């Protein structure tokens, strides 16, 4: 079993839809949970990060962490064509470890 599992998609939704992106993980040592967005032929950029279980909201984006289920989610409300990108979850155990473990990424297309 891989440390981080993420459905690669592709996921295609109409403009205005609510999008749900998910990752599961197996290592309970992970403490920091991040979502990166990667446009085609660009480097990843940090979108959201959370430390504990619960929800964190930033504009149209909500990050959700459920440590008991080892499950993290990113919700995008009122999706826009400009949200079309690959979304990568990234996890870190903290405690002196600086390495990020990335999921494979989910490719999202928002159709106008």
Q: Summarize as ranges the residues that interact with another protein (CB under 8 A).
A: 4, 6, 8, 32-34, 41-46, 49-51, 88, 90, 92, 94, 98-100, 102-105
Shortest Å distance, C-beta 12 to another protein? 17
For residues 62 and 56, what is the distance between their CA atoms, to the nearest angstrom? 6
Q: Name the residue nearer to another protein (CB basis): 67 or 104.
A: 104
Give the residue with the Cβ less far from another protein, 60 or 104: 104
Residue closer to another protein, measured from CB, 29 or 46: 46
Distances (CA, A) of 64 to 23, 35, 50, 67, 82: 11, 11, 8, 10, 22
Other Cβ atoms closer than 10 A to 81:
10
């Amino acid at each position: 079993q891989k440390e981080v599992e993420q459905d690669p998609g592709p996921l295609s939704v109409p403009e205005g839809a609510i999008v749900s992106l998910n990752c599961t993980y197996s290592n309970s040592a992970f403490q920091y949970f991040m979502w990166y967005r990667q446009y085609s032929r660009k480097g990843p950029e940090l979108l959201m990060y959370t430390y504990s279980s619960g929800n964190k909201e930033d504009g149209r984006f909500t990050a959700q962490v459920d440590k008991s289920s080892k499950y993290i989610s990113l919700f995008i409300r009122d999706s826009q064509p400009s949200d079309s990108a690959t979304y990568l979850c990234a996890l870190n155990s903290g405690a002196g470890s600086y390495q990020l473990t990335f999921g494979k990424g989910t490719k999202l297309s928002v159709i106008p």
